[in-house]
């Protein structure tokens, strides 16, 4: 299956995106992002936002993850496979989480933590 990137999405050519990733309308994927196989990114998401609080490492989202609409993830975080979020989730820098994490709608993780 080929990448399914909506025509209104903005994806930096330096981002590392698996072949079968789906990216919804009006989402922005910055350069410092790695999306694993089978990931689905909803509409109006922004992934990999640069920040002086980050360490320059990429935002890594493990395979088969689902990030629902209007969610925001900063750089320098790493999530294992099968991450699932609700809508309008915010994740700040230096968040590390294992596999199968679920974050509910309007969830907010202020970073610098291990889950």
> pLDDT by residue (tens digit) across 31-90?
999 999 999 999 999 999 999 999 999 999 999 999 999 999 999 999 999 999 999 999
Report the pLDDT averaged over residues 16-45: 98
Query: Sign of the C-alpha dihedral, residues 33, 24, 20, 37?
Result: positive
Q: Count structural domains, the chain.
A: 1
Query: Sign of the C-alpha dihedral, residues 97, 61, 51, 68?
Result: negative
Task: Please tell me the predicted confidence (pLDDT) of residue 2.
Answer: 60
What is the span of the domain harbouring residue 32? 4-114
Report the pLDDT averaged over residues 7-36: 98
Q: Give the CATH number, domain containing residue 57.
A: 2.160.10.10
């Amino acid at each position: 299956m080929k990448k399914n990137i909506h025509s209104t999405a903005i994806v930096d050519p330096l981002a590392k995106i698996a072949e079968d990733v789906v990216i919804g309308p009006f989402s922005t994927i910055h350069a410092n992002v790695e999306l694993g196989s089978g990931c689905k990114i909803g509409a109006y998401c922004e992934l990999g936002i640069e920040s002086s609080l980050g360490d320059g490492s990429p935002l890594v989202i493990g395979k088969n993850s689902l990030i629902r609409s209007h969610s925001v993830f900063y750089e320098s975080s790493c999530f294992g496979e099968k991450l699932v979020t609700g809508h309008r989730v915010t994740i700040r820098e230096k968040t590390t989480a294992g596999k199968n994490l679920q974050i509910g709608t309007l969830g907010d993780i202020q970073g610098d933590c291990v889950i």
